[in-house]
Amino acid sequence: MSITRFARRGRLPVRISGSARRGKALLAAIAGLTVVVGTMASAALAAGAAPAAAASSGSSGSVLRIQAQTSFSTFNPFTAYFDGDLEVINNIYPQLTAINETGQAVPYLASKWAISANRLTWTFTIESGLKWSDGKPITAADAAWTLNLIMHNSVAATANGALVADFKTVTAPNATTLVITTSQPEANMLYNLNTIPIVPQHIWAAEVSKLNTFKNQATPVVGYGPWQLTGYAPNQYATLTANSSFFMGAPHFHTLIVQYFSNSDAMVAALRSGQLDAVEYNLTAPQFNSLKGVKGITVYPQVSSAWTAIELNPGAQTESGRHFGNGNPVLTDPRVRQAIEMAINKQELVSKVWDGLAVPGAGYLTPAYPQWQWTPPSSESLSYNPAKANALLTAAGYKMGPNGIRIDPTTHKPLDLRLGIHSDEASDAAMAPYIVEWLKAIGIDVTVDSMSFNQLNTDLPEGDWDMLSDTWSTGPDPTFLLSIQTCGDLPTSLSQPGNTDSFFCNKTFDNLYNLQGTEFNTAQRVQTVDQMQQILYQNAVDVILYYPDFLSAVRTSYVTNYFYGKPNAQGFYPSPSEFINWRTATPVAGGDSSSSSTALWVVLVIVVVAVLAGASIVIRRRATAGERE
């Protein structure tokens, strides 16, 4: 998603399987409820935003309402990595470069740049005349201060430290010149700089001592971008106000409300009723299909740049090698992890859970950027083969117990693993019973633990898990997504979680990571990145299940020019970019709008949430292949 931070942990489109007979009947019942009260209930979830949404029509007072990709955690750009936070952060703070509609790095805060003959010195010219939202000038000193803080402060390096690891010096000889020297050539410099928000030194210098806990949620937030954060209701919505003097072109809407929905049915009902204007790649397949042909709403299938995986805990550890957490030690054995990969029928998940609107997973990088896509050779394939998985475990000494569960030869305990899934993701609930059944077939017992988004992502850095469902997205350059698998992204201490994906650490992988960043020849770099993907695949710490399609919808009776580009031969639009979409979205002259009674919505949402909660319990009871056809 272009200018937004690529390769960030987040919540993908929530889709409910259409494969289970019982699930279909239940969904039909829920759909009936939605017709009666679902629309009103969804608006209740957005009730906090209703006062802003009542502004006068027209560009001077118009309001654009979109759904947040995840719940909100922090707007601190040094520590944030959830999509809900980042889509706000990257619209209220500038980066040195931007990514355009074709995936190319283009000027943003830096108007131009030059690289020395030895490729070790980059000189950037900073756009002059720009001001932070408090009126203070934006200078090269702000960029130098931000980058130096990340280079020399371990907390500031939490989100993006790996991207400046080879920076030697960063200086600002004058207000419009920024000079970066590196210890080795940086072929991906321009893409890396697109990932790092620049902050105002005069504001953030006072926050350095408490950077680890500072959430930056008091509004208005001093920044610069197409939008300013002017309101925030914890875990409900963020209100952004357009920057009318944004030098790349002011947004066409005056106010933007980014609303979090913990329930996707409520989100769709809000779109139908006019309480929401756009849903970006967060629709289920049934929801997407149900919106086709709805008057005033246009659906957009888009190329996915993300994957969903089952992460396997190989042993949580700090950079110094200190082990922590309560992960099952059996997963330190790569043979067990490989057997788990071979036990999972990814094609069936795509068919049954995603109704065919996904691509089975394999390589670590997504098909959205085919130059980086890697396919394992047949001789190394860990594709679905339960017989081979069983044979591998038996040969490794994991004998089958009398109850059909294998025994760990070291601890003499049954192979019993926990699977953490997101309670607010229907696709997780639909996928989990298949995983349970398939692993049972190779002698591994699985207990499913359904957790909130925040709880699951709290457990992850603490190492208190065996298997977790997780999602990351990427952009045209793979550096960041690769960096979260390096030893350098392990936590530095138990109190500093780091940005590691699954506590993977492999020196050969790290050496290749360093090499690929220096390779200006694309073909050479592709070969290096392929080797890295091969290492990840064989170690099986991320069992890539699938690359889900992005399914979006816009209330085009109210807003136009939201998505850019034209569909390809398969009907897919380019992957969306919040930085571009939110700025180019334009109110339709005389377009429809809705208003509501907050009190009525609140009463109705209690009823609907209770019904949906009961429904989710029934859905998760699907256990057998017969029930899932």
Six-digit token pair at 125?
A: 């010219």
Strand partners, 105: 99
Tens-place pLDDT, residues 250-275: 999 999 999 999 888 899 999 999 99
Question: Is it the case that residue 19 has pLDDT exceeding 90?
Answer: no
Q: Which residues contact 541 (CB under 8 A, 6 or more apart)?
A: 311, 312, 314, 337, 485, 501, 502, 503, 504
Residue-level pLDDT at 593: 55
The full DSSP string for 217-246 is: -SSSPP--SSEEEEEEETTTEEEEEE-TT-
How far apart (Å, rounded) are the C-alpha atoms in residues 222 and 204? 10
Residue-level pLDDT at 209: 96
Phi-psi region of 279 (alpha: psi -120 to 50; beta: other; left: phi over 0): beta
Residue-level pLDDT at 61: 63
Q: Which residue has the tokens 């993908």?
A: 12
- The pLDDT of 351-362, averaged and rounded, is 91
Residue-level pLDDT at 501: 85
Q: Are 330 and 416 in contact (CB under 8 A)?
A: no
By the 10 Å C-beta count (0-12 exposed, 13-18 middle, 19+ buried), 507 is classed as exposed
Fold of 21-71+235-301+557-611: D-Maltodextrin-Binding Protein; domain 2 (3.40.190)
How far apart (Å, rounded) are the C-alpha atoms in residues 37 and 136? 49
Residue-level pLDDT at 186: 95
Tens-place pLDDT, residues 183-213: 999 999 999 999 999 999 999 999 999 999 9
Strand partners, 418: 447
Residue-level pLDDT at 81: 80
pLDDT, mean over the chain = 85
- CA 174: distance to chain centroid? 37
Q: Kindly report the backbone phi and psi dihedral angles of residue 229, in degrees, each rounded to the nearest multiple of 5, phi listed first.
A: -75, 115
Closest CA to 159 of 461, 600, 608: 461
**Least reliable range by pLDDT among 3-17, 353-367, 445-459:** 3-17
Q: Are 332 and 505 in contact (CB under 8 A)?
A: no
- Give pairs for 384-389: CB < 8 Å, separation 24+: 384/342, 384/343, 384/344, 384/345, 384/346, 384/347, 385/342, 386/342, 386/343, 386/438, 386/441, 386/442, 388/342, 389/338, 389/339, 389/340, 389/342, 389/343, 389/442
Question: Is it the case that residue 223 has pLDDT exceeding 60?
Answer: yes
Please give the helix or strand (H or E) that residue 288 lies within, else none: helix 285-291
* Domain range annotation of the chain: 21-71+235-301+557-611, 91-209, 306-548
How far apart (Å, rounded) are the C-alpha atoms in residues 30 and 400? 42
Tens-place pLDDT, residues 393-439: 999 999 999 899 999 999 999 999 999 998 878 889 999 999 999 99
How far apart (Å, rounded) are the C-alpha atoms in residues 234 and 21? 38
Closest CA to 84 of 226, 232, 190, 208: 232
Fold of 91-209: Dipeptide-binding Protein; domain 1 (3.90.76)
The full DSSP string for 31-75 is: HHHIIIIIHHHHHHHTGGGHHHHTSPSSTTT-EEEEE-SS-----
Cis peptide before 220 (omega within 30 of 0): yes
Which of the two residues, 241 and 461, has the higher pLDDT score?
A: 241
Query: What single letter denotes the amino acid at residue 410?
Result: T
Question: Is it the case that residue 175 has pLDDT exceeding 90?
Answer: yes
Rg (CA), the chain: 24
How far apart (Å, rounded) are the C-alpha atoms in residues 367 and 516? 19
- DSSP summary character for residue 572: P
Tens-place pLDDT, residues 539-586: 999 999 999 998 999 999 999 999 998 998 888 888 788 999 999 999
Residue-level pLDDT at 592: 66
- The pLDDT of 583-602, averaged and rounded, is 63
DSSP H helices, 173-221, are 189-195, 201-204
How far apart (Å, rounded) are the C-alpha atoms in residues 405 and 441? 9
- DSSP summary character for residue 591: -
- DSSP summary character for residue 367: T
Q: Are 575 and 304 in contact (CB under 8 A)?
A: yes
Question: Is it the case that residue 240 has pLDDT exceeding 50?
Answer: yes
pTM, full prediction: 0.76
Tell me how crowded residue 135 is: count the other CB atoms within 10 A of its CB.
7
How far apart (Å, rounded) are the C-alpha atoms in residues 108 and 97? 5
Residue-level pLDDT at 32: 33
Closest CA to 628 of 215, 24, 225, 98: 24
How far apart (Å, rounded) are the C-alpha atoms in residues 322 and 318? 5
How far apart (Å, rounded) are the C-alpha atoms in residues 430 and 18? 9
Closest CA to 46 of 61, 23, 68: 68
Residue-level pLDDT at 200: 98
Q: What confidence tier does 589 reach under pLDDT thresholds 50, 70, 90?
A: confident
Closest CA to 611 of 159, 30, 17: 30
Query: What single letter denotes the amino acid at residue 419?
Result: L
By the 10 Å C-beta count (0-12 exposed, 13-18 middle, 19+ buried), 411 is classed as exposed
Q: What confidence tier does 511 reach under pLDDT thresholds 50, 70, 90?
A: very high
Closest CA to 361 of 383, 388, 377, 343: 383
Q: Are 84 and 10 in contact (CB under 8 A)?
A: yes
**Least reliable range by pLDDT among 142-156, 302-316, 531-545:** 302-316
- The pLDDT of 276-290, averaged and rounded, is 89
Question: Is it the case that residue 452 has pLDDT exceeding 90?
Answer: no
Please give the helix or strand (H or E) that residue 377 lies within, else none: none
- DSSP summary character for residue 487: G
Q: What confidence tier does 36 reach under pLDDT thresholds 50, 70, 90?
A: very low
Residue-level pLDDT at 611: 39
Between strands 255-259 and 467-473, the pairing is unpaired
Q: Which residues contact 381 (CB under 8 A, 6 or more apart)?
A: none
Residue-level pLDDT at 480: 87
- The pLDDT of 30-44, averaged and rounded, is 34
**Least reliable range by pLDDT among 23-37, 81-95, 585-599:** 23-37
3-state secondary structure 454-480: HHHHHHHHHCCCCEEEEEEECCCCCHH
Quote the CATH superfamily of domain 306-548.
Dipeptide-binding Protein; Domain 3 (3.10.105.10)
Tens-place pLDDT, residues 124-149: 999 999 999 999 999 999 999 999 99
CA dihedral 55, 59, 65, 70 (to 10 degrees): -120
How far apart (Å, rounded) are the C-alpha atoms in residues 370 and 222? 39
Six-digit token pair at 76?
A: 């601190």
Six-digit token pair at 354?
A: 């995603």
User: With the C-alpha atoms ordered 324, 325, 328, 333, is the resulting torsion angle positive or negative?
Assistant: negative
- The pLDDT of 330-357, averaged and rounded, is 96
Residue-level pLDDT at 473: 85
How far apart (Å, rounded) are the C-alpha atoms in residues 17 and 620? 12
Q: What percent of the chain has pLDDT over 90?
A: 68
How far apart (Å, rounded) are the C-alpha atoms in residues 86 and 83? 5
Query: What single letter denotes the amino acid at residue 313?
Result: N
Question: Is it the case that residue 1 has pLDDT exceeding 60?
Answer: no
Q: First-to-last CA distance in the chain?
A: 36
Q: Which residues contact 210 (CB under 8 A, 6 or more apart)?
A: none
Residue-level pLDDT at 194: 95
DSSP H helices, 449-585, are 453-462, 479-483, 507-516, 522-539, 578-584
